[in-house]
Amino acid sequence: MSLTELAFFALAIVAIATGLLALLVRELVHTILWIGIFFVDLAAIYFLLEAPFLGVLQLGVYAGAVTILLLFGIMVTRKRIFSRDAATGVGALPIALAVVTFIFLIGALGQLPGSAVPAASYSVASLSTLLFNTEAPYLLLLGLVMLAALAGAIYLVREGRE
Amino acid sequence: MTTLPVGDFLALASGLVAISIFGILTRRNFILLLIALEIGMNAAILSFVYFAAFPQCVTAATCHPLTGQAIAVVVIGLAATEVAVGLAIVLALHRIRGTTNVAEADSLKL
């Protein structure tokens, strides 16, 4: 087993473990800590796949913005920040559904050929050329969606609304 | 550069999707629901980034080798937008109902 594969397995185990812990711990602030580690871990996987721009984007948008936004949401909606979440029983049905989904997805993999070699001639310039030429409509659409979301968010949280 | 087998990556993505479904079905806190959704979204982004490096695509004339990464950039933007709107809903729900429990948000009129 090569060093890259070993690193991937370690990162994958950390991703699964932190993802589960984030949803299972009772303290909401601890959830934010685990999910932050989860996002940083996925950024490391992107760096492993030779996609440094995506890695930096993951660190900036997810590990930075989304984590802080979620923490802010917890801060605003709680009287005491370290108050525990109400106990929710882990029923058999959610676990069964999750396991069935996992088995179904793994079974759907079948015999897939080959394995990926990270692109050798990768540069951020070529990615930006692609993004602003061929994929420009999608980028434009993303901007419009963000504008609509901004307007919607302001409408939802503004004062004096019954 | 050594290769990374496709099965391992898809197994990781499947595991993350399963965790996401488990979280969405189990937890009742709106913010935890958003976090579970983000885990599922990250599984999709991981798959896109992985298949951007897939050799079948690099050699084909019809597809650009970086299309997967371009899609991943767009999906990351969409996910961030989703969290912003979700938190606006959390704040509105908290102000009007005084709770972030999704089981108590049972009226369409807020």
Domain ranges within chain B, ordered by starting residue: 6-101
Please answer whether residues A149 and B84 qualify as being in contact, where contact means their C-beta atoms are separated by less than 8 angstroms. Answer: yes
Q: Looking at this predicted complex, what is its ipTM?
A: 0.89
| B49·A46 Cβ contact <8 A | yes
> Residue A59's pLDDT is what?
94
Q: Does A63 touch chain B (CB under 8 A)?
A: no
Q: Which two tokens stand for residue A95?
A: 């676990």
User: Residue B31's beta-bridge partner residues?
Assistant: none
For residue A109, pLDDT beyond 80: no
Query: What is the helix (H) or strand (E) element at residue A146, kind and residue range?
Result: helix A136-157
Interior/surface letters B8-40, b for 16+ CB within 10 angstroms, e for the rest? ebbbbbbbbbbbbbbbbbbbebbbbbbbbbbbb
Q: Which of B46, B55, B109 is nearest to A58 (CA)?
A: B46
Q: Please give the residue that has the higher pLDDT: either A13 or B104.
A: A13
pLDDT of residue A114: 60
Instruction: Specify the pLDDT at position A13.
Output: 95
Residue A159, both tokens: 């004062």
- Overall average pLDDT of the A113-125 stretch: 63
One-letter identity of residue A142: L
pLDDT at B56: 60
For residue range B38-91, what is the model confidence (pLDDT) as tens digits? 999 999 999 888 887 766 655 556 667 788 888 899 999 999 999 999 999 888
Residue B82 to residue A110: CA distance in whole angstroms = 33
B60 touches chain A (CB under 8 A): no
∠ CA(B86), CA(B36), CA(B98), 5° rounding? 45
Please, how many CA atoms are within 13 Å of residue B69, restricted to the half-sphere of its CB?
Answer: 32
Range A15-22, long-range pairs (CB < 8 A, 24+ positions): A15/A41, A15/A42, A15/A45, A15/B12, A15/B16, A16/B12, A16/B15, A16/B16, A16/B19, A19/B16, A19/B19, A19/B39, A20/B19, A22/B35, A22/B39
Q: Does A119 touch chain B (CB under 8 A)?
A: yes
Handedness of CA B62, B47, A147, B109 (dihedral sign): positive
pLDDT tens per residue, range A121-159: 567 888 888 888 888 899 999 999 999 999 999 988 887
* Per-residue pLDDT at A159: 73
C-alpha distances out from residue B88 to A66, B23, B93, Å: 13, 21, 9
A 22-51 residues with CB < 8 A to B: 22-23, 28, 31, 35, 38-39, 42, 45-46, 48-51
Q: B6-101: which CATH number, 1.10.10.10, 1.10.1840.10, 3.30.470.20, 1.10.287.3510?
A: 1.10.287.3510
The architecture CATH gives domain A1-82: Up-down Bundle (1.20)
The answer to whether B66 contacts A119, with C-beta atoms less than 8 Å apart, is yes
* Residue B12 at interface with chain A, using a CB cutoff of 8 Å: yes
Residue of B nearest to A6 (CA): B4
Q: Please name the residue of chain A whose CA is at the shortest distance from the CA of residue B59.
A: A119
Q: What are phi and psi of A7, to 5 degrees?
A: -60, -40
Q: Is residue A81 over pLDDT 80?
A: no
Which two three-digit tokens encode residue A131? 């993004």
CB contact under 8 A, A39 and B42: yes
Residue whose structure tokens are 């409408």? A155
- The amino acid that residue B14 corresponds to is S
Mean of pLDDT values over B9-31 = 89
What is the CB-side half-sphere exposure of residue A62 using CA atoms within 13 A? 32
Cα–Cα distance for residue pair B90/B23, rounded to 1 Å: 18
CB-CB neighbors (< 8 A) of A152 in chain B? 85, 88
- Mean per-residue pLDDT for B81-104? 87
- Mean residue pLDDT across chain A: 84
> Residue A19: its pLDDT value, please?
93
CA A28 → CA A23, A83, B101, distances in Å?
9, 8, 13
Q: What is the DSSP letter of B110?
A: -
What pLDDT is recorded for position A67? Answer: 93
Please list every residue in chain A whose beta carbon sits closer than 8 Å to the beta carbon of residue B89. Answer: 156
Task: Write down the pLDDT at residue B37.
Answer: 93
pTM: 0.88
Chain A positions in Cβ-Cβ contact with residue B81 (cut-off 8 Å): 145-146, 149
